[in-house]
Chain A
Amino acid sequence: MEKFISANGISFGYHSVDEQDKLVTVLDGLNLSINKGEFVAILGHNGCGKSTLAKHFNAVLVPYKGDVIVDGMNTHDEEKIFDIRESVGMVFQNPDNQIVATVVEEDVAFGPENMGIESDEICRRVEQALKDVDMYEYREHAPHRLSGGQKQRVAIAGVLAMRPKCIVMDEPTAMLDPKGRREVMQTVKKMNREHGMTVVLITHYMDEAAQCDRVIVMDKGEVLLDGAPKEVFTHVEMLKNVGLDVPQTTELCFELSKAGVEIPLDILEVDECVDALSDILEKKGVKA
């Protein structure tokens, strides 16, 4: 598979404010690659370095040591910074911090305008982007009057209108209600499945991670686990030790197996769980 982003032995730290500028290491020689068209979730507790890593993916941050290569471009190469940022768009947690204009369609147009795209094309892109996130009917509304989920979809449209090859989302659903979360996940999945867009999703919701192709778990600036959701979530105890969680279905199976019930540990979905449980109950002679 073709690599889209690769981080090769990257280290990064922040200077501490109080302790004489002491360097606090956040990423320590991390290696990671993300393939073209992949839908990857990054999990980790607060402070594990996942947002810092995400900011390396479009050159908001550059590593002290090592290289990040995005679509063949090194983020250390200052001449490529704009190209890198056009190819990787970012969406952050709080939609209020990302909206700049007073009308939805103007906000979505902000990115492409800055790229120097001609106005007819901008109109087409804004229309398409707003339709992709199902916010077209709100194009003339004021963003501050929208709900959180709607605002976040406008923020996503603003990124889509720049037509990036990859979209990096840092907890885009943290502030949303269940419906808003479903809408954002559907939008992102559609961009990935239908348009082949590479998606990196940072999240604290295990059910969202379960919907991705691949899950990367970070701890202390390093990659702890990396694999398909079914593999990663079988490590229930390891995940809990690093302050994470597993979907409730996986936890139930894990707890039952601890209590001596023979049940597969890689169950993520409700239907799967119901089937596995009814198999077991049937074997035990419990009649339905």
Chain B
Amino acid sequence: MAVIKIENLTHVYSQGTPFEKVAVSNVNLEIEQGEFVGVIGHTGSGKSTLIQHINGLVAPTSGKIYIDGQDLWQDKVQRHAIRFKVGLVFQYPEYQLFEQTIYDDIAFGPKNMGLDEQEIDKRVRRAAEFVGLTADMMEKSPFELSGGQKRRVAIAGVLAMEPKVLILDEPTAGLDPKGRDMILGQIKEYHETVKSTILLVSHSMEDVARFATKALVMNHSKMFMYDTVENVFAHASEIEKMGLSVPQISKVVMGLRAKGYDIPANIHTVEGAKQAILKLAQQGGMTNA
């Protein structure tokens, strides 16, 4: 069963005022449990509004959202419980830290869920481990940490709630390449261990190609595509027209194909391209495209 089901979702901001703006227009979408989805789209394409619907931060103007088969807006009591199933990590989450110790900050979510002390402790330690925070750091103030570490604390705070669906809005913005690879690697590991569903909003097509299995493309408030990463990046020219890009390596592969070389079109990572080129070179004159 689809863990997220969206039916005819439309959201209009400031309806009935001169600032009226359709942010999400008639989106239909089903995401299966356990997918790792890269969410891409130009700024203002509606992707943030869309993901905010998934844990009920904004209410649809029209349409329905089902989490785990339950209608998110059916009743208020239920909505509270459904929200715990969907964890949302905002952009620059390090600005949301507020507790005196790292431990307390990570424990804030699970405490609000009404879990007992023991369970909270277990979850806090597990979440901290996922993001590479060591036990001796737990009693420190989060404000002593570097930006990248603070961000990992904030992400741990959401992981500790063990949501079925984890949504991250540009978790690597502003990080250096090493910090970026570290956080994405940890999210990938969490995904593989816990088998949760991940929605990763990113402006980096390279990262989407490396980590996600599916890609959801938003364009001018409409959903352009929801398909495998390979199929999405195969629409390179349309994607570029939307103000997005495809990974640089995909362009190299397309260039080689345009010259007539027999290299598969569905290669979007450096490692994949390396293997394909080595294979092609080994075959020597045997291949004819």
Please report A residues at the B interface, Cβ cutoff 8 Å. Answer: 17-18, 44-47, 93-94, 145, 147-150, 171, 174-181, 204, 206-207, 243-245, 247-249, 251-252, 255-256, 259, 261, 270-271, 273-274, 277-278, 280-281, 284-288
Contact = CB atoms under 8 A, between A and B. Distances in A.
A206 B278 CA distance: 25
A147 B44 contact: yes
Contacts of B180: 204
A278 B261 contact: yes
Which of A206, A285, A287: most chain B Cβ within 10 A?
A287
A179 B244 contact: yes
Given A243-B179, A249-B248, 17 more contacts: A145-B19, A174-B174, A175-B170, A177-B243, A243-B177, A244-B176, A248-B247, A252-B274, A255-B270, A256-B277, A256-B278, A270-B251, A274-B259, A280-B281, A281-B280, A286-B283, A287-B288
B274 A259 contact: yes
B281 A284 contact: yes
Interface string B231-263: 000000000000111011101100110011100
Contacts of A244: 176-178
Contacts of A175: 91, 170, 173-174
B205 interface: yes
Interface of B: 19, 41-44, 91-92, 141, 143-144, 146-148, 170, 173-180, 203, 205-206, 243-245, 247-249, 251-252, 255-256, 259-261, 270-271, 273-274, 277-278, 280-281, 283-285, 287-289
Contacts of B146: 46-47
A46 B288 contact: no
23 contacts: A46-B175, A46-B176, A47-B146, A93-B174, A149-B43, A178-B205, A179-B244, A180-B243, A181-B203, A204-B175, A244-B178, A248-B248, A256-B274, A261-B277, A270-B251, A270-B252, A281-B281, A284-B284, A285-B284, A286-B281, A287-B289, A288-B260, A288-B261
Nearest to B240: A178
A176 B252 CA distance: 24
A207 B251 CA distance: 14
Contacts of B259: 274, 278, 288
Contacts of A147: 42-44
B285 A286 contact: yes
Contact of B206 (A45, A47, A94, A248): A248
B23 to A, nearest CB: 12
Please list the 5 inter-chain residue pairs (A to B) with the smallest Cβ-Cβ separation, ordered nearest first. A179-B243, A243-B178, A274-B255, A288-B260, A285-B285
Given A44-B176, A178-B245, A244-B176, A18 B281 contact: no
Contacts of B44: 147
A270 B255 contact: yes
A255 to B, nearest CB: 5
Contacts of A261: 277-278, 281
Contact of A174 (B173, B206, B251, B261): B173
B255 A287 contact: no
Contacts of A286: 261, 280-281, 283-285, 287
Nearest to B180: A204
Nearest to B209: A248
Contacts of A46: 146-148, 175-176, 179
B22 to A, nearest CB: 14
Nearest to A274: B255
A106 B173 CA distance: 29
Contacts of B147: 46
B287 A287 contact: yes
A277 B144 contact: no
A49 to B, nearest CB: 13
A45 B182 CA distance: 13
Given A243-B177, A285-B285, A148 B278 contact: no
A248 B177 CA distance: 13
B179 to A, nearest CB: 6
B178 A45 contact: yes
A288 B144 CA distance: 58
Which of A17, A93, A150, A175: most chain B Cβ within 10 A?
A175
B249 A249 contact: yes
A251 B281 contact: no
